[in-house]
Amino acid sequence: MRRADRLFRLVQHLRVRRFATGEQIARDLGVSLRTVYRDVQDLERSGVPIRGEAGVGYRLERGYELPPLTFNGEELEGLVLGARLVAAWADPELAAAVSSAMTKVEAAVPEALRRVLLDTALFAPGGPWSAAMARELPLLRRAIGERRRIRFAYTRGDGEQSERTVRPLGLFFWGSKWTLAAWCELREDYRTFRPDRMQAPKLLDETFAPEDGPSLTDFLQRWDEHTEDGR
């Protein structure tokens, strides 16, 4: 068991018991008594009000609650990886927002768990190619949020060019590229478009209501049906 998960479980263990001896904690967590002593000291230093009473054991002060943002080790690793994916593959505005969110997470978790954020060895390398893929994401995210049509010139993979006006519905990340799910007014059907193949996308003043025809729910349903048919 990783240290971050062990510290989390130790606090939870004391929350459900009035008292617990070091031997009981060591047995329940599957660690040595020396490890329990060290973990309790680390938690006390980070502000968790654990009190030791000779001949009785450890107890958690009444009224103590874990902070609202309390995570175990794997949850923290997942958050770190997600933040690094956004930093490498999304647009700078979204990357800055995620960085700010992770700063808040770091401030909220106990000091003893903070090392997980710094030591997580999970990475999402990016480069000029990933920045090019995300170039139009700020405009597309705004169009989706405000439910506004967009117009752009588009070049397909085979070189065919066209002018499109679409209702943007959602953005999908596929590991090495983004696609925009949309209702295409030229084809009068759902289509997907790669943002890096769009030229001069323009946000239009026209808005559309979610109940007015095409929707992301319908797109996903069509996608599921297409996937099942292709099995």
Residue at which a domain ends, from 105, 126, 147: 126
> Is 67 a domain residue?
no
CA trace torsion 180, 181, 183, 189 (10° rounding): 120
Last residue of a domain, one of 31, 60, 89: 60
131 CB-near residues (< 8 Å, 6+ apart)? none
Please give the pLDDT value at position 63: 66
Decide if 162 is inside a domain: yes
Same domain (yes/no): 141, 203: yes
Domain that holds residue 56: 3-60
Regarding whether 204 and 140 lie in a shared domain, the answer is: yes
Mean pLDDT of successive 10-residue stretches along the chain, which has 231 residues: 78 82 91 92 86 84 64 85 95 92 80 80 91 94 95 96 97 95 96 97 90 89 76 48
pLDDT for the residue numbered 71? 76
> 83 and 22: one domain?
no
Which one of 60, 82, 106 terminates a domain? 60
Give the pLDDT score at 228: 64
The residue whose two tokens read 């106990």 is: 110
Co-location of 200 and 122 in the same domain: no
Q: Is residue 65 part of a domain?
A: no
Q: Is 66 inside any structural domain?
A: no
Tell me if 210 is assigned to some domain: yes
pLDDT at 68: 53
- Count: domains in the chain: 3
Residues 6+ positions from 133 with CB-CB distance below 8 Å:
89, 176, 177, 178, 195, 196
Q: 145 and 98 share a domain?
A: no
- pLDDT value for 212: 77
Per-residue pLDDT, 205: 94
Is there a contact between 198 and 154 (Cβ–Cβ < 8 Å)? yes
Q: Is residue 77 part of a domain?
A: yes
Task: Tell whether 184 and 199 lie within a shared domain.
Answer: yes
- State whether 135 and 190 are in the same domain: yes
Q: What is the pLDDT of residue 32?
A: 92
